[in-house]
Amino acid sequence: MKFMPRAALLAAVTFCAGAIADAAPLETSSSQDAVVQALNTQNSKLVPAPQATVAAAPHSGEIVQPLPAADEDQDFATLSAAVAAQDAHALPDSELHCLAVGVYFEAKGEPLAGQLAVAEVILNRTTSGRFPRTVCSVLTQRGQFSFVRGGRVPTPPANAQWRKALAVAQVAQKELWESPAADALYFHARYVSPGWKRARVGTIGNHVFYR
């Protein structure tokens, strides 16, 4: 009778011990899962969200609009302003150089309108069909301009009057200002009377202009 209770007691103790042993890993596993979950939650709060980035457009893809020509597209209030806007220190090509030489030696002491009119006569001759087709050839045509000797265009001095003549030649070549003698083909000084029977355009400064 005493054996059975002791055996039952021993079985009960063994059962309880096994239950406790089985429960320990479960409790430990649950605790570890809770810790991992807490760490994950904390880390998710500490990691910032990625910022959206906008890639800059490459410079090679930019479209650059050409700048308009400063002289040809510009309107001037006066002839003096048009002349002042030119680059009188630029190295001219042969045609512009010859045109400026003609203005200098024929009209360097004239007002700007008179200098422009002389330039217009030279340019008009190149398109008239009655004279050579280039400015330099118009100047060197025999018997036309007294400052040309032996078919050679003289070299003007590098002074203020030359720079002004060069600027006037640029204005005429670019057609930046309309001359009062725009369609003239001939001119002479007022102190001479060649007796020409040509249509007179007008008088500007010390020159009389004709078609």
DSSP states of 109-132: TS-HHHHHHHHHHHHHHHHHSSS-
Average pLDDT of 123-145? 97
Contacts of residue 110, defined as CB under 8 A and 6 or more positions apart, other chains included, come to 118, 204, 205, 206, 207
Give the residue extent of every domain in the chain.
92-179
pLDDT (tens digit per residue) in 174-201: 999 999 888 999 999 999 999 899 999 9
Mean pLDDT of the chain: 77
Stated as kind and residue range, the H or E segment containing 203 is strand 200-204
Q: What is residue 96's three-state secondary structure?
A: helix
Q: What is the CATH number of domain 92-179?
A: 1.10.10.2520
List, for residues 49-102, the tens digit of each pLDDT value. 445 443 433 443 444 443 344 445 578 999 999 999 999 888 899 999 999 999
Q: Residue 22's pLDDT band (boundaries 50, 70, 90)?
A: very low
Looking at residue 89, what is its pLDDT? 86
Report the C-alpha gap between 112 and 116 in whole angstroms: 6
What lies within 8 Å, CB to CB, of 73 at 6+ separation is: none
Residue 135 in contact with residue 199, Cβ under 8 Å?
no
Q: Is the model's pTM score more than 0.85? A: no
